[in-house]
Amino acid sequence: MVPEAGALLVVSGVSKRFGGLLALSSVSFSVEAGQIYGVIGPNGAGKTTLFSCLVGAARPSGGEILFRGGRIDGLPNWAVVSRGLVRTHQIVRPFRQMTVRENVSVGAHFGAGRRRGSDAAARVDAILEKTGLAARANALAGTLTIGESKRLEIARALATEPSALCLDEVMGGLNPSEIQSAMTLIRTLKESGLTILMIEHHVHAVVGLSDRILVLNFGEKIAEGAPAAVMRDPAVVSAYLGEDAPAEATS
């Protein structure tokens, strides 16, 4: 497949090798600005590795990544973030000895916005409000619940003022009502013009939210397209849904 020119993010032939293991094998896709782009696949399919390669936390072994028309593969993580592509971590990594507000302000001070002083403070307040963390602003990040920690991950990433946001399982470990509010938050973010890539195990959530879905299995792309079509794809049904059907049932 030749990725369309003009897309916000164009990934062509990206591979990642860890010693003898091929974690990603020549994966290509593109994401249009303003889309929600779902990435699904069984455990160990290479989803998180894909995100690591996108943001520069891992260096791809091959292939090209274009973001807003410029090459970003091979750039270090901080440089990718300053170009407007940021990710959250599946296993949350708050700065535990800093307050929630300070955590978020790190993103505002650095990232793509590089705001200082009252400008940064206003931005941080707005994000705390939007992510529902305002009441916990002065709590140390190490004292948050898992749901709050996941929201802090999103809040910090938002504070870097990205044009595209990679969410790595932000609903993992949340209860049903928290999942609902997470879905609402993601819709709001989309409406504000943000492009979102999301890895998610809750098939119901990802199908409901995404404009397009990419399915990975053993590091390879096995399907890509509109959610409904992808879910009917026999390769997807056997590789992924066959194993993980209960996830659909619970959500």
Residues that bind another protein (CB under 8 A): 16, 18-19, 21, 23, 48-49, 52, 55, 57-58, 76-79, 81-82, 86-87, 89, 93-99, 101-102, 105-107, 109-112, 116, 120, 138-140, 142-143, 156-157, 159-160
**Closest CB to another protein among 86 and 171?**
86
Encode burial over 163-185: b for 16+ CB neighbours within 10 A, e otherwise. bbbbbbbbbbebeeebbeebbeb
**Closest CB to another protein among 36 and 86?**
86
Q: How far is the CB of 72 from another protein (least distance, A)?
A: 13
**Closest CB to another protein among 35 and 88?**
88
Q: How far is the CB of 157 from another protein (least distance, A)?
A: 8
- Helix (H) or strand (E) holding 12, with range, is strand 9-18
Tokens (6 digits) for 3: 């990725």
- C-alpha 143/C-alpha 105 separation (Å) is 18
Q: How far is the CB of 204 from another protein (least distance, A)?
A: 24
- Helix (H) or strand (E) holding 177, with range, is helix 176-191
Give which of 30, 1, 29, 28 is closest to 15, Cα–Cα: 28
Q: How far is the CB of 216 from another protein (least distance, A)?
A: 14
**Closest CB to another protein among 107 and 227?**
107
DSSP 8-state code for residue 233: -
